[in-house]
Amino acid sequence: MADIHAEKILVLDFGSQYTQLIARRIRELHVYCEIHPCTMPFAEVRAFAAKGIVLSGGPASVEEPGAPMVDPRIFELGVPVLGVCYGLQLMAKLLGGAIDRTAHREYGPARVEVTEAVGPFRDMTVGEHLDVWMSHGDKVSAPPKGFRTIAKNPSSPFCAVAAPHRKLYAIQFHPEVAHTPRGRELYEAFLEECGVSFNFRMGAFAEEASKQIRERVGKERVICALSGGVDSAVVALLLHKAIGPQLQCIFVDNGVLREGEAAQVEQTFKDRFHVPLRVVNARRRFLEALRGVTDPEQKRKIIGREFIAVFEDEVGKDRREHGDARFLAQGTLYPDVIESVSFKGPSAVIKSHHNVGGLPERMKMQLVEPLRELFKDEVRALGRELGLPEAIVSRQPFPGPGLAIRVLGEVTEERLALIRKADAIVQEEVANAGLREKLWQAFAVLLPVK
């Protein structure tokens, strides 16, 4: 099997709000890529051995003192480079072009005309017009020596330039956003220039991840906190397929779950997939701890604290029955990893799942994070590849404290029953209207009114 990570694209981040979108568009085209800060040392860039490099946009002006830069030697690596917005301006400045500040920042839709069918426009026709999304305050007034205009519009005569003999391409607009309808084609054409195989697919990922899990875990046991959400469900099933009985899942029913959720988790994992699963009914304990509490942040802290206590108790029982487990599985995703390295200044803390934050240190367990290089949509695709039911794969995001923070005011059995039924009705109506795929979230909230 070909190594799905062998051919990769490097996305250098200059602080754009769209950087993750660039990576997602590339991944959607079945090419592996990673986001790294623009401060990545040149030696590391070279060692990364990318098949191509994308320079993201960013909020700064290249004319400002202290503006984020990149080592110009990346343009001599011999691999295709695509500059996007700030990336265009930076490439032009570093290679001898001229940059002007625009009188008014251009933000919104625009039309550009293709003047040469090369690079990202290689599959387009000269004279063709594209609807695109602009967001910039600087523009190129004179391209570097050896660069040609490959697209233009009235306000930006050099809105796309290229030096094809050096494999350098740059565009003023943002092909990664939905407002550039043919942006996917532009990225696909650039990736073709990079000579990649388009082989980053979830079936191959599952095989490679399973192999890595077995190598890391060996014959040791792994504990997985199964919440019923998409991430932990995919982690659990992937681990089960990789190491079978070495896995022990623990599902804590905290009493603030959606209608039928606990039963669905047990039926899916225990009965259908035969995953080793310990189900803990802790509803009474959580409700007692929440008695009289109305502040949502306090609810969140109480539920997190109680979860850790219950989970530690269950791990203790498991240890007495089966011996120590050295590893704890966690559903860390790629956006969590990016958050710690993106170009916004150093960030010391990677966002952690509210339920397992602090557990590895307290329990002296090593983390297993098989999804840490995937975006959420890739996790869903992996879940489908593994055979998870669509009801779990397409499940909407759900807050860690569950229905407790969708009940405004004190949480009681009666109020939970109301919000649970109301939420089920909302989900049913959304599904009946054919809106499930169009809505990121839809849910009910119980207000403290009569």
Q: What is the pLDDT of residues 85-120, one digit of tens each?
A: 999 999 999 999 888 877 666 777 899 999 999 999
> pLDDT tens digit string along 392-401?
999 888 998 9
- The tokens 């590895």 sit on which residue? 360
Percent of the chain whose predicted confidence (pLDDT) is above 70: 93
Domain count, the chain: 2
Judgement on whether residues 220 and 119 belong to the same structural domain of the protein: no
Judgement on whether residues 116 and 246 belong to the same structural domain of the protein: no
Long-range contact set of residues 288-295: C-beta below 8 Å, sequence gap at least 24: 290/404, 290/410, 290/411, 291/410, 292/410, 293/410, 293/411, 294/408, 294/409, 294/410
Q: What is the CATH number of the domain that holds 301?
A: 3.40.50.620
Judgement on whether residues 368 and 310 belong to the same structural domain of the protein: yes
> pLDDT tens digit string along 195-215?
999 999 999 999 999 999 999
User: Residue 431 falls within a domain, yes or no?
Assistant: no
**pLDDT of 438 higher than 60:** yes
Mean pLDDT of the chain: 91
Catalytic residue among 36, 174, 240, 353: 174
**pLDDT of 160 higher than 90:** yes
**Average pLDDT estimate for 133-145:** 85
Look up residue 154 and give its amino acid.
P
Residue 131 phi, psi (nearest 5): -85, 130
Judgement on whether residues 130 and 66 belong to the same structural domain of the protein: yes
Ranges assigned E (strand) in 209-289:
222-225, 247-253, 277-281
**pLDDT of 413 higher than 50:** yes
- Burial call 375-405: b when 16+ CB within 10 Å, e when fewer: beebbbbbbebbebeeebbebeebbbbbbbb
Judgement on whether residues 282 and 174 belong to the same structural domain of the protein: no
Catalytic residue among 34, 106, 176, 314: 176
Judgement on whether residues 329 and 381 belong to the same structural domain of the protein: yes
Judgement on whether residues 178 and 279 belong to the same structural domain of the protein: no
Cβ neighbour number for residue 284 with a 10 Å cutoff: 10
CB 87 within 8 A of CB 69: no
Judgement on whether residues 325 and 234 belong to the same structural domain of the protein: yes
Model confidence at 135, pLDDT cuts 50, 70, 90, reads confident
Catalytic residue among 33, 38, 85, 249: 85
Q: Is 194 a catalytic residue?
A: no
**Average pLDDT estimate for 216-228:** 94
Q: What is the pLDDT of residue 344?
A: 53
Model confidence at 239, pLDDT cuts 50, 70, 90, reads very high
Final residue belonging to a domain, choices 130, 161, 194: 194
Q: Is 85 a catalytic residue?
A: yes
Judgement on whether residues 345 and 239 belong to the same structural domain of the protein: yes
Q: What is the CATH number of the domain that holds 46?
A: 3.40.50.880
Q: Which residues, 6 or more positions from 355, have their beta carbon under 8 angstroms from its beta carbon? A: 225, 227, 304, 307, 308, 311, 400
Judgement on whether residues 373 and 316 belong to the same structural domain of the protein: yes
**Average pLDDT estimate for 346-351:** 33
Domain that holds residue 382: 202-398
> pLDDT tens digit string along 288-302?
999 999 999 999 999
Judgement on whether residues 214 and 187 belong to the same structural domain of the protein: no
Percent of the chain whose predicted confidence (pLDDT) is above 90: 77
Judgement on whether residues 37 and 93 belong to the same structural domain of the protein: yes
User: Residue 1 falls within a domain, yes or no?
Assistant: no
Q: Is 176 a catalytic residue?
A: yes
**pLDDT of 369 higher than 70:** yes
Ranges assigned E (strand) in 52-97:
52-55, 81-84
User: Residue 435 falls within a domain, yes or no?
Assistant: no
The alpha-carbon radius of gyration of the chain (Å, integer) is 25
Helix/strand number for the chain, H first, E second: 14, 14
Ranges assigned E (strand) in 69-128:
81-84, 98-114
Q: What is the pLDDT of residue 338?
A: 84
